[in-house]
Structure 1
Amino acid sequence: MAENMTIDAYKHGKVNIVDDVIGVIGSIAAAEIEGIKDLSGTFSEEMMEIVGKKNFNKGIRVEMEDNVVQIDLSVIVDYGTKIHEVARLVQDNVKLAIESMTGFEVSAVNVFVESINTKF
Structure 2
Amino acid sequence: MAEHKEYWSTTGEQGTIKISEDVVASIAALSASDTEGVSGLYSSLTSDIVSFLSKKNLSKGVRIELDGEGAVKLEISFLALFGHNIREVAGQVQQNVKSAVESMTGLRVESVDIHVGGVTFAPCASAEEEAQTES
| Both proteins in one fold, TM over 0.5 | yes
Count matched residues.
110
Match of 1:40 in 2: 42
Q: Aligned-pair RMSD on alpha carbons? A: 2.1
Shift of 1:4: 1.0
Q: Deviations over 1:20-44 (max 9, x none)?
A: 1100000000011111010011349
Match of 1:79 in 2: 82
For normalisation by structure 1, the TM-score amounts to: 0.84
What is the distance in 2 between the residues matched to 1:119 and 1:12?
A: 49
Q: Hey, which bits of structure 1, 4+ residues long, moved more than 2 A?
A: 42-46
What is the distance in 2 between the residues matched to 1:30 and 1:116?
A: 15
1:91 is paired with a residue whose SS is helix
Shift of the 32–67 alpha-carbon distance from structure 1 to 2, 3 Å rule, reads: same
Match of 2:95 in 1: 92
For 2:100, the aligned partner's letter is A
| Identical pairs, percent | 32
What is the distance in 2 between the residues matched to 1:79 and 1:103?
A: 34
Match of 2:15 in 1: 13
- The structure whose Rg is larger is 2
For 1:11, the aligned partner's letter is E
Shift of the 45–62 alpha-carbon distance from structure 1 to 2, 3 Å rule, reads: closer
1:26 is paired with a residue whose SS is helix
For normalisation by structure 2, the TM-score amounts to: 0.75
For 1:96, the aligned partner's letter is S
For 1:31, the aligned partner's letter is S
What is the distance in 2 between the residues matched to 1:61 and 1:26?
A: 9
What is the distance in 2 between the residues matched to 1:43 and 1:88?
A: 25
Q: Judging by fraction of residues, say which structure has more helix.
A: 2
